[in-house]
Chains A and B, each alone.
Chain A
Amino acid sequence: MNNKALIILIIFVAVVSCLTGDFFTSRNISNIFRQICASCVLSLGFTLVLGSGAIDLSVGYMLGMIGIATALMAVNNVPAPVVIVSAILIGGICGFCNAFLSLTFELAPFIVTLAMGMVYQGINLLMCHSKSIANLPDWYKFFGNGKIGPVPFAIVLMLVMVIIVMVMVQKTKFGRYALACGGNRKAARVCGISTTKITYAVYILTGVCVGIAALLLTGRTASAQTGAGAGMEMDCVAAVVIGGTPMEGGKVNVFGTLIGCLLIQVISNSLNLLGVDSNWQKIAKGAVIIVAIILDRQGSKLLDRIRVRKIQMEAE
């Protein structure tokens, strides 16, 4: 019962599939899953950052920049392994910069990452002279369209990442430390945890997630768009919070993040199927996200009440 987002998702899907027969086609379902891969991997990093009590608003523009950079390398015949490692490396370096600035000068991560996002966007546009980069080599497109057996490679990669992050957060020392920092940074430091190291690690890992997400997104669109990634950080916030990770830090729900991403995509997808005007879609999406979070919070209260009744009944 820890995943109220899952229940909301099921209800939403049930309603939509009643309204339109086009939803439950294998093609549409597969599409939805493929569309969430990049945003889900991005949100995994975001989940880590939120859990450790910080925030990273630069992930969207960072993704766009890495997409353009790697696409430029790929069209200039740089070998695939080098490009892939570069994507991860650039992400890591960007994450390091975010952490370095906020820790060294004791600045709020909110403003540092907001500003760095602008920097990344600028670098992005300078690199590609504000033009999209097409004609990517086939190996790059494999990130978006390749298949392992019957399953798209992107989905496999996403699920592997979900599992890695889940294990990292729930089972490792690093996860405990990161969540302790999110719960009470001062206390964590007194406990003997090097909170600065943890913050660096969290931001670098987030950068790595962004790098992988950039490969997935660019691969799927088969070209690096200049505007790619813009605003994705807000979708991340929504997905992660719907998934049950609180903004205050100290707690995470990694599986919930996957569900949150799915829910947001299902909302867009079903509104498309229902032929809702794209401007209205935006309003509807915002409204549905708010409703989802309200249901989530009210659901928690309801669960508490049920638990109380159970305890009382046992007592009698």
Chain B
Amino acid sequence: MQEKNLLEVEGLSKSFLGVMALHRVNLSVRAGEVHAVIGENGAGKSTMMNIIMGDLKKDEGKISLKGKPVEFKSPADAIAAGISMIHQEISLVPTLTVAENIWLHREDVFMKGLFINSAARKEATDRLLEKMGISVKSTALVSELTVAQAQLVELARAISSNAEIIIMDEPTSSLSDKEIAILFKVMRDLKEKGVAIIFITHKIEELLAISDRVSVYRDGCYIGTRSCARTTKDELISMIIGRTLTEQYPQIHAKIGKPVLEVKNLSGEAYSNISFTIHEGEIVGFSGLVGAGRSEIMRGIFGIDKKLGGEIFVNGEQVQIHSPKDAVRHGMAMVTEDRRDMGIIQSGSVKENMSISTISDFCGKLGIVNVAKEQQAVEDMMKKLSVKAANMNMLITSLSGGNQQKAIVGRWLMTEPKLLILDEPTRGIDVGAKAEIYRLIGKLAEQGMAIILVSSEMPEILGMSSRIFVVRDGSIVFECESADATQELLGKHALG
């Protein structure tokens, strides 16, 4: 069966600052297929997409659309030629409504003389959202939406542009199962209409569920393309990391000790009456849909957001936590969900980012930092977590996502916390780095640290936790030992 290729990339190369990001890679996408693109962070997927979209200039190689060679100078050119991209980070205007965002730059469809016919625009938006099965009001401001809802709106925008090729850069990374189901339905509908979808993802199960073919990239090189019907998860993993991965989740032999954190009747804006206890050496998983209130509970405990009521006990003593500073003083640490927003300090180096919470330990008189001592501590931690960076004085933003995350975890481990809260610690990082983070979590628990793991990935929760809570609509609705838990059971309670 010889199908015509809609988009053909041949021998594409690109280097940044002398570093080869892409080395003669290929990609061919047919009309009406979902073509998955997978590879570790730094494999070159985003670079390739940015070149296709005209955001970056290629060094060499050929891109052809329907058999004709093309070279887009800007994303606007690519969009005009029928290629649309949904970026990983949300690119909607928060102060505009859903309808305004979807038709931004394309208002001429609704022009009535000099003015925009908002009623017609609203109607078109409502129709579109309803067809896609998205329950978002077209008059809602984007700033009022959850991350997952905003992602679906972005999807709606891409679809409404009648693109022939839609590139989706990790669209599921902040979606829960319910929204992923919507996304997959939309993808199947598009496929039927002959639209080609390039689906960039880190999740292999997901990819196998929806895609027709998959192309694998590693370290800027093209490894190969497989038909999803004829490949296995194991084959893909070994293609992605270049070795076979036997056990993703480590065996953890931690001794459960004294209670570290006890929360009683904690309430906040998005949750109420939360009570639970966590012991030394315990990894407690918090499962549930995105927007169920899991992150909000953790932010409340850690003092990032205001609490409305309830009590918190650390090592048996009641404590008042009004800000993260109080939480840190009581031996807590928290890796937040959104690395860019609340994790890294973009203007700082790797070293500055890692030492910021413990800088007092390296200070002499007058608060002057003993840089030698600081560097030693940072270097030790980087080695311990195998943070890969040319040197510690590089900007943290020059690191890959996985290494940034390890640096943030390192920042907190330097405070020697008794309780570590991890909110989606493996979001958007590659398979190899994920396995390293899992091993690390296991080791920390074995050393007696209490760990809270918030995650939307059920296998992660099941594979890592010793006890699991399910959160729905701001309440803990289910609790079980992980030995008794299954994906179906957790899913049932999460959906209610």
Contact = CB atoms under 8 A, between A and B. Distances in A.
Interface string B344-382: 111110001001110110010011110100000000000
Given A172-B368, A311-B18, 10 more contacts: A176-B369, A184-B341, A184-B342, A190-B342, A190-B343, A192-B357, A250-B345, A311-B17, A311-B19, A312-B18
A183 B348 CA distance: 7
Nearest to B339: A187
Interface of B: 17-19, 302, 304, 323-325, 327-329, 334, 336, 341-348, 352, 355-357, 359-360, 363, 366-369, 371, 411, 415
What 6 A-B pairs have minimum CB-CB distances, sorted nearest first? A250-B347, A192-B328, A311-B18, A183-B347, A183-B345, A312-B18
Contact of A192 (B327, B342, B371): B327
A188 B366 contact: no
B24 to A, nearest CB: 17
26 contacts: A171-B371, A172-B363, A173-B360, A173-B367, A173-B369, A176-B355, A176-B356, A176-B369, A177-B359, A179-B348, A180-B345, A180-B352, A182-B347, A183-B348, A184-B342, A189-B324, A190-B302, A190-B304, A190-B334, A191-B411, A192-B328, A192-B357, A194-B323, A250-B347, A308-B17, A311-B18
A177 B359 CA distance: 9
B420 to A, nearest CB: 14
For A167, A190, A311, the residue with the greatest tally of chain B CB atoms inside 10 Å of its CB is: A190
Contacts of B411: 191
A190 B356 contact: no
Interface residues of A, number: 32
Contact of A250 (B348, B355, B359, B360): B348
Contacts of B369: 171-173, 176
B359 A173 contact: yes
B343 A176 contact: no
A180 B304 contact: no
Interface class of chain B by DSSP? mixed
B105 to A, nearest CB: 27
Given A171-B368, A176-B356, A190-B304, A184 B324 contact: no
A186 interface: yes
Nearest to A181: B345
Given A250-B347, A250-B348, A190 B336 contact: yes
Contacts of B355: 176
Contacts of A189: 304, 323-324
B344 A192 contact: no
Contacts of B360: 173
A301 interface: no
Contact of B347 (A172, A190, A249): A249
Contacts of A167: 368
Interface in A163-178: 167, 171-174, 176-177
Contacts of B363: 172-173
Interface in A222-272: 248-251
Contacts of A183: 345-348
A180 B17 contact: no
Contacts of A174: 367
A147 B17 CA distance: 51
Contacts of B367: 172-174
Contacts of B304: 189-190
Contacts of A312: 18
Nearest to B20: A315
Interface string A190-234: 111110000000000000000000000000000000000000000
A247 B302 CA distance: 31
Contact of B356 (A171, A180, A248): A180
A96 to B, nearest CB: 21
Contacts of B341: 184, 186-187
B345 A188 contact: yes
A307 interface: yes
Contacts of A171: 368-369, 371
B18 to A, nearest CB: 4
A187 B352 CA distance: 13
B335 to A, nearest CB: 9
A191 B324 contact: yes
A138 interface: no
B330 to A, nearest CB: 11
A183 B355 CA distance: 15
A315 B347 CA distance: 28
B320 to A, nearest CB: 15
Nearest to B348: A183
Nearest to B18: A311
A188 B19 CA distance: 32
Contacts of A177: 356, 359
Given A173-B367, A183-B345, A190 B359 contact: no
Which residue, B329, B368, B415, has most C-beta atoms of chain A within 10 A? B368
Contacts of B366: 172
Contacts of B334: 190
B342 A250 contact: no
Interface string A283-307: 0000000000000000000001001
Given A191-B411, A250-B348, A251-B347, A304 B17 contact: yes
B18 A308 contact: yes
Contact of A187 (B18, B19, B344, B359): B344
A171 B343 CA distance: 23
A142 B328 CA distance: 50
Given A187-B342, A315-B18, A193 B347 contact: no
Contacts of A176: 352, 355-356, 359, 369
A309 B18 CA distance: 7
A299 B311 CA distance: 56
A193 B348 contact: no
Nearest to B360: A173
A191 B18 contact: no
Given A176-B356, A190-B334, A315-B18, A184 B327 contact: no
B14 to A, nearest CB: 13
Nearest to B366: A172
A178 to B, nearest CB: 12
A304 B18 CA distance: 11
A39 B216 CA distance: 59
A186 B327 contact: no
Contacts of A173: 359-360, 363, 367-369
